[in-house]
Chain A
Amino acid sequence: MAQMWITMGPQHPMTHGLWTLRVKVDGETVVDTDAELGYIHRGVEKIAEARDFTQITPYCDRLCYVSAMTWANSYIYAAEDLLEVEVPERAEYIRLIAAECQRLASHLMWLGAYGPDIGSLTLMTWCMRDREMFLDLLQELGGSRMHYNYPRVGGVKRDMPVGFADRLVAKVKLFEHRIDEYEMMLDESTIWLVRLQGVGYAKAEEMVNAGVSGPNIRAAGVNYDVRWAHPYSVYDQVDWEPAVEKPTSVKGADCYDRYRVRMEEMRQSCRMMLDAIEKIPGGKNTNYANGDEMILAKAPTRAPEGATGFSHYECTRGASQFYIQGGGDGRGKNPYRLSIRSPMFITIPFVAKTMIGYKVADIPAIMGSFDPCIGETDR
């Protein structure tokens, strides 16, 4: 049969954002692919050169609208490396809780979007319902539903409100049961299994070489996680272990493994938050005033030329990295260069090549299982 190119995107239910996947098909089989990105490139790296270190945080929130807190944190750790700031421990705990809350919200958004890809619209409504719980918690911290501007260089904007701890514990404990519900619905659904199992294989070493990271690597059977391998924050003090799957084939992890690892990761986030809220220094029902030294350390505002800051952070979709060079405009008030490493920018071209050999109908299942987010991809 004659081969032909089909363009999927930039507006297509499979894309989860604005990008184009060009697929060369032979009948129903994919024989070649090509990814085109850049539709929503905003030039955040350039804008940051004209902003001071506090003003950059809101832009980092908007790198990924599903996972704003982790991106803002990721930037803040690089800024703290650059400005040589040590953060109070209470602030680290609050950041950890906020980041894990965001991880739950982000994974729920992923699951909610992945369900309709596979043909289970119910899943979307369930996930949106549960995601609201965590968005409410994040709203209590940051003041808005999606873009919080919450971390500051040296700590956090404000302390947890009184009663936050109780609401967090209640919601997390409820949600632990909800994860069981999801699993009962999905793992026993023939459609779900048929669409996911044996599709989209990717080997661990290939993925590492291609720069893929995060849950997608752990699905292939190794518990490599930035949170312990390149440690930051207080992850060594709370109770958790990295989620890891046992792939069933020599060909590596399939879509089902990637779905399983994210479910397990949600459980670990719950476990981590429940433990962290009990161990938080200063007490879980105390509310320190804004700028108190328990939650915000003094930080310089200027960085000299030649200073560099780097952070390696386990974002919800993989390892995000920031690299900042000091000594920009305003006698070092702005960064001279800020560089952002987006995990999905590297993953999407890899996934596009992973699809070769599968059917056209498998494309949404494979693409969705890697959890693409175009906001961070295009920056």
Chain B
Amino acid sequence: MGMRITNAQADAAAEHAVESVNARFGGSDVVATVEHHANALKMAFVRIVAPPQHWTAVAKHLKFDLGTNYCSMVTGTHHPEGGAERGWEVVYHLMRQPVANQAPHTNTVHVAEELQGMDVPLEVEVVLTLPQGQTPSVPSVQSLWVGADWNEKETWDLVGIQFEGHENMHRVLNPHDSPEGFHPLQKQHKIRYHDFNEMYDDAQGFGRKPTDEGRVK
């Protein structure tokens, strides 16, 4: 029969993580809260809002004290109209997975409802807000999670966030000879359908051109 982590288990795991982070970083600007997804199952997750200078310390706490062993996703966002304090945002999604190396000819079969404490899967969302500027930069966590390596490469390539201390940074999705400073997910680059009603403005499609034509390669 199928099984799943119950809402109570997820709530307890998230509350424990939030208490731990707030106890360790209380007094600084690091704020952790328990949030719930808004879709059918309403599972709990942890949201941590941290200033970038505390990110390395928070990451070490998450990895070594709370057991988040999996860096799944890094998202950079450009907010050109977000005010002086919020020009860029970097969101890390981290997970805790109850996975360990196995002795030969053995396996671990978890029963979801019986998991407790640090074995309960945990979902953490870390939001780092950066001020306006040409060179947004956060510390890299490549050395903590190998999985962050290519995620950070991608975020630099597409959004232009710099990751301090990242080794071997290079283009991964854009061509290797893309012009320096070209990061297509920044908001000054428009694609041709932005503000464009194709049904009425140009039904035949003769006038379709990228609005940044001639300005970028």
Contacts and interface: CB of A to CB of B under 8 A. Distances in A.
Interface of A: 37-38, 41, 43, 45-47, 49-51, 77, 80-87, 92, 203-213, 217, 220-224, 227-232, 235-241, 244-250, 252, 272, 309-310, 312, 319, 321, 323, 325, 329, 336-337, 339, 341, 345-346, 349-350, 378-379
Interface string B146-166: 111111001000100000000
B184 A244 contact: no
A378 B157 CA distance: 12
A37 B104 contact: no
A244 B172 CA distance: 33
A84 B37 CA distance: 8
Contacts of A228: 2-5, 112
Contacts of A77: 39
B106 interface: yes
A124 B195 CA distance: 47
Interface of B: 1-5, 37-41, 43, 45, 69-73, 75, 77, 91, 93, 95, 97-110, 112, 121, 123, 125, 145-151, 154, 158, 171-175, 184-185, 189, 191, 193-195
A222 B175 CA distance: 38
B75 A337 contact: yes
A247 B107 CA distance: 8
Given A310-B93, A379-B173, 4 more contacts: A51-B193, A204-B100, A208-B97, A239-B2
6 contacts: A46-B184, A221-B107, A222-B107, A231-B41, A236-B4, A323-B73
Given A224-B98, A235-B2, A323-B75, A205 B69 contact: yes
Given A50-B191, A86-B39, A310-B93, A223 B104 contact: no
Of the listed residues A49, A210, A230, the one surrounded by the most CB atoms of chain B closer than 10 A to its CB is A230
Contact of A245 (B107, B154, B158, B171): B107
Given A38-B172, A208-B97, A211-B71, A222 B191 contact: no
